Amino acid sequence: MIRARLLEATSPRVEAIWRTLEQKARPSFFGTWGFVECWLACLPAAVRPRLWLLERDGAPAAACFLGRRKMLRRGAIVTRALFLNATGVPRFDDLCLEHNEVLGAAEAGITLNELLAQLPPDHDELFLPALAPERMPGSRLCERLEGRHVRVDRQVPAPFVDLDRVRSSGSLGWLGASTRGQVRRAEKLLGPITAEVAADEAAALDVFEELVGLHTARWTTRGEDGAFADPWVRSFHRRLIRSRLRHGEIQLLRVRAADATVGCLYGLVANGRVLFYQGGLAQFADPRVKPGYLCHVKAIEHAAREGHARYDLLAGGADYKRRLADSEVVLRWARVQRDLARFAVEDAARALWRATRRR
């Protein structure tokens, strides 16, 4: 028998429950207590999600954090929404958590129908951002549901590098011939390339600040703000670095040529996976200099030497990701909606709008 309960994020039970399930599930860094604790601590109390705990025979079986928000869409559709490991507030969800899951649900063999049956009843739809395809509920989106339906809003490839292949293939042998040639040409143009990985808090924060500066400068030239424009986001990452670097979960890497920085990369590490979270790259007049390739090659080689299994480039179909990676999964942003008339009206309006645009 499965039963559910909601706990405030500040409850002293939450950490022990999460850590117990984490040991079984071995999630990506986004599902570790190190990330979750920092996220909860930085969120304003008014938007902080609560822990939704599923118990089987009185013992924790699965858990996630549920955000809640009442929304008005298209000026007419009122919906009471729940959000899986998210707040529903774009400003705070711009951290871009990926490989999302209900922690422990896959290991416990919980079906999507079982999960949905235990949700708080006062909701109309459940938002499921960036679902990992091999985890729950991403692995069960095709399940036949009772009184509900699944809407997949978007699907995005998430390329990754198999680090066993890097270790077995020798210097740059894991890259395609064209990409390998571009990397070697860039190395010749810049001279000797070195990489340093921050070993202490002061060094890590120094790399982070340079990364933010490079990242912001590059995006500003495109007329956009970049990922670190919000002071809340920068504050979150500084706290995360201070709390998790000493546990080996933060990788801040700076690549140099002579005395100049080529770029900086920010990685998140857990359970054999290094997630490339963000980067800041110097800008060069010569297009043959490929700072992104040079930095990622150094980061991938470092991850391989450290014995990790996978270097994950996260969601996005950018050409450089596909050239560096040898595999990919597809992350899905989905919703589970109750079979309500208002959603049928919304779907019909959307279909009419699309048909009008095609004329």
pLDDT bracket for residue 74 (50, 70, 90): confident
Tokens, residue 106: 């896959």
311 touches 161 (CB < 8 A): yes
pLDDT bracket for residue 77 (50, 70, 90): confident
Q: What is the pLDDT of residues 209-267, one digit of tens each?
A: 999 999 999 999 999 999 999 999 999 999 999 999 999 999 999 999 988 999 999 99
Q: What's the average model confidence in pLDDT over 72-82?
A: 90
The strand pairing partners of 194, in sequence order, are 256
Query: Would the pTM count as exceeding 0.85?
Result: yes
Give the single-character DSSP code of 100.
Answer: B
Burial 235-244 (b: 16+ CB within 10 A, else e): ebbbebbebb
DSSP string, 172-202: TTTS-HHHHHHHHHHHHHH-SEEEEE--SHH
Q: Tell me the H-state helices in the chain.
A: 13-25, 33-42, 90-93, 105-108, 112-117, 163-169, 177-190, 201-221, 231-244, 291-305, 319-324, 341-358
Q: Name the amino acid, one letter, at 79.
A: T
Provide the total of helices (H) and of strands (E) in the chain, helices listed first: 12, 12
The CATH number of 160-329 is 3.40.630.30
Q: What is the pLDDT of residues 289-300, one digit of tens each?
A: 999 999 999 999
Q: Is the pLDDT of residue 353 over 80?
A: no
pLDDT bracket for residue 346 (50, 70, 90): confident
Output the pLDDT for position 359.
66
Output the pLDDT for position 35.
99
Interatomic CA distance for residues 166 and 253, integer angstroms? 19
- Spatial CA neighbour of 85 closest among 117, 39, 45: 39
Percent of the chain with pLDDT over 90: 92
Instruction: Please indicate whether residue 259 or residue 85 has the higher confidence score (pLDDT).
Output: 85
Interatomic CA distance for residues 272 and 162, integer angstroms? 11
Q: What is the pLDDT of residues 140-197, one digit of tens each?
A: 999 999 999 999 999 999 999 999 999 999 889 999 999 999 999 999 999 999 999 9
Q: Tell me the H-state helices in 1-137.
A: 13-25, 33-42, 90-93, 105-108, 112-117
